Amino acid sequence: MKHQFKYISKLMFLVSLLLPSVGIVSCSDDHDKFVPEGPVELSVTRDGANVDALDFGTYGGSVLVTLKTNAYWDITVPEGADWLVLSNRSGDPTQGMPEKTDEPRYIKLTAQPLGKDDATRTCQVTFRAADVVKTITVTQKQPSAADESGWESAYVANRNMAVGINLYNTLDAVGDWFDPDDIVACETCWGQPLATQEWFDAVAAAGFKGVRVPVTWWLHMDENWVVKEPWINRVEEVVNYALNAGLYCILNVHHDTGQDGWLCADLANIDPISKKFESLWTQIANRFNKYGEKLLFEGYNEMLDGANSWVEPVAGGYEAVNILAQKFVDTVRATGGNNAHRNLIVNTYGGGGSQTRFDNFVIPNDKIGGHLLVQVHNYSPSAFSNLNGEIDDDKLPVWTPEFENILAKELDVMIEFSNKYSIPVVIGECAAYEKIADEEKAKYGEFITTYSKGKADVSVFYWGNMIDRTTYKTMYPLLVKGFLKGA
């Protein structure tokens, strides 16, 4: 065994002398690592674009960057920056190395959440390939609580709203069996009573922080697209109910979008649609300009393409939504006054929260930073919300870990989007089938409102009965209690 060991040692020594000549990486020192004969190349990109800085925001999270180089490489992080973790610190060339197929290396940078009392923290991450160096500035900072005028920022408004409820099937209701100029008939045509101050007071007393007020406008516009005075007067009266109760109020354009609506993501007809949309929002913005920061505007509801597709839109559908989202922001800002600072909400195509919807959505440019929110709707799991009418009333479901997993995956997509772009997300609609046992709905309510806490700025608004519209009593006490855990 002794002679055999000597023989193996000599063999390994001879092999080690040959290794540098074939470009194999040695970990001993830089002289043993692969360097090309020509120029050293190094690029670090994110989503195909060169990256020089990363801002993780309050909640941190993970970012993938793509490293390409034809030399050995390593990454260093300054001492004390233990809040930033890298998946890889060194490695072989990703291209140009003999007998190696070109393939980029994906580096995951993960920032820990920033504590509420922590100030901005930053560090320089150094990427080195042989003698070529590239640095990326990584920053994590608390969002501004207010702009230079003192107007509340979008992230503060979203945290303050936290959990809310919709005034549903009321000002948004439509039909062809009544005179649209009859305000009472229009407001009650879908079976709901007239909105009252007492209901909003009861919503606030129960612990909710905001009310989303959906409004359909097209029934109340003349041939010149002018909103009739009685209707906008009634809308303003209801908005005041919410604000008088101390609630945040989200005012929107509702069933003007959706199936058979005029406001659609139709790129072929985008010019006339855009002009009518601009006219409508100019009127709304001017009427409500005097109101303070607790009133938010939502540009449109569940906008679909010209074919009313709830799945993938026809060609140009995503582009049309992005055009109209930008038109909404520009139109409101152009009215000046309080609207120059007002927090504005834009929605994805169809209000969907899938990865595809987010990937195809472009956050509008805004003249003022920190005053935009993105809204999606979530009725998952459908077997719990009865979105597709699939629940058997004789076999009502209970809340299960499987349901939690389904919903968690969708919420994770929202969380990642919110943190990637440092923008708050509003779940403007969600629901559980009303016939399900109260204690089971309560589990759902707690899960959807608390899952994102400490991970991203997400507020949640329920669509459905919670506070009775005539008695003002809590209809499902356990659901309300669970839902309010998110407050």
| Length in residues, the chain | 487
Q: How far apart are CA 297 and CA 325, in angstroms?
A: 12
The residues that are catalytic are: 302, 429
φ, ψ of residue 67 to 5 degrees: the values are: -105, 130
Which residues are CB-contacts of 305 (< 8 A; sequence separation ≥ 6)? 264, 265, 266, 313, 314, 316, 317, 320, 349
Q: Are 258 and 302 in contact (CB under 8 A)?
A: yes
pLDDT digits (tens, 9 = 90+) for 115-143: 766 778 999 999 999 999 999 999 988 88
Give 4 or 343, the one with higher predicted confidence: 343
Q: How far is CA 391 from the centre of its chain?
A: 29
- Reported in sequence order, the residue ranges of 328-445 that DSSP labels E, i.e. its strands, are 344-347, 372-377, 425-429
Mean pLDDT in residue range 166-180: 96
Please tell me the distance from the alpha carbon of residue 157 to that of residue 147, in angstroms, as a whole number: 13
Confidence (pLDDT) at 32: 66
Asked if the model's pLDDT at residue 67 lies above 60, the reply is yes
Cβ atoms of 83 and 44 within 8 Å: the answer is no
Looking at residue 148, its pLDDT comes to 85
pLDDT of residue 34: 86
Q: With contact defined as beta carbons under 8 Å apart, do 78 and 91 qualify? A: no
Residues 203-207 have a mean pLDDT of 98
pLDDT of residue 408: 98
d(CA 137, CA 122): 7
Give the confidence band of 259 by pLDDT, cuts at 50, 70, 90: confident
Looking at the chain, the whole-number percentage of residues with pLDDT higher than 70 is: 92
Tell me if the pTM is above 0.75: yes
Q: Answer whether 280's CB lies under 8 Å from 253's CB.
A: yes
**Token pair for 39:** 């120029």
pLDDT on residue 56: 86
Would you state the pLDDT for residue 58?
Answer: 83
Rounded to the nearest integer, the mean pLDDT of the chain is: 91
Q: What is the pLDDT of residues 404-452, one digit of tens each?
A: 999 999 999 999 999 989 899 999 999 999 999 999 999 999 999 999 9
Residue 326 has pLDDT above 70, yes or no: yes
C-beta separation of 375 from 426 below 8 A: yes
β-pairing, 210-213 with 248-252?
parallel
pLDDT score, position 134: 96
Q: Is residue 197 scored above 90 in pLDDT? A: yes
The residue with greater pLDDT, 27 or 356, is 356
69 within 8 A of 40, measured Cβ to Cβ = yes
